[in-house]
Amino acid sequence: MLTLHCPCCGIQADETELAPGGQAHLTRHGPGSSDEDFHDYLFTRANPRGVHFERWRHAAGCGKWFHAARDTQTLEVFGTYAAQTLAPPQHIRDAITERRPDWTWHASGRATE
C-alpha cells in the first residue's frame, strides 16, 4: 500500500485518497511547437525502473496537487513537495542521492538512454 505525505494539509494519505496525475516536471509543448516536441510531450516518457517524479492530487482530502519522488521498483518514497516547482528541490535530490548514488536528474520528460 502506497501512502504519501500531503505537503498541503499534512495528512499521511493512503493511495485510495489520492488521484494520480502522471509524470511531474514535463515541459509543456503546445500550439506553435514542432510536431516532434509535441509528440514527445504527449507520449515519450523515460519510465525507468527506479526513481520517478509524479504528480498527485489529494482528491478525497484537501483537494490540492503536490509532487512525489519515489522508486517504482522498491516503492520507497523519497519525499513529497509543492507542485509549484519546475524541478525537484535540493532536499529531495539529496534524499534520492543518499539511497541511489548513481542517480542523476534529467530536466526533461524525454526518454534518455
Positions touching Zn ion (CB under 5 A) are 6, 8-9, 58, 61-62
CB of 65 to other proteins, least distance (A): 11
Q: Interface with other proteins includes 111 (CB under 8 A)? A: no
Beta strand residue intervals within the chain, DSSP E: 3-5, 12-14, 19-23, 51-57, 65-71, 77-82
Cell numbers placing 30: 503546445
Q: Interface with other proteins includes 9 (CB under 8 A)? A: yes
Cα–Cα dist 69/79, whole Å = 6
Task: Please state whether beta strands 77-82 and 65-71 pair in parallel, antiparallel, or not at all (unpaired).
Answer: antiparallel
Q: Interface with other proteins includes 19 (CB under 8 A)? A: no
Q: CA nearest 67: which of 44, 99, 100, 89?
A: 89
Interface map 41-80 toward other proteins (x if CB under 8 A): ------------------xxxxxx----------------
Q: Interface with other proteins includes 82 (CB under 8 A)? A: no
- The interface partner of residue 10, options being other proteins, Zn ion, none and the CB cut-off 5 to 8 Å by kind, is other proteins
Cell numbers placing 12: 499521511
Q: Which positions lie near other proteins, rule CB under 8 A?
A: 8-12, 14, 16-17, 59-64
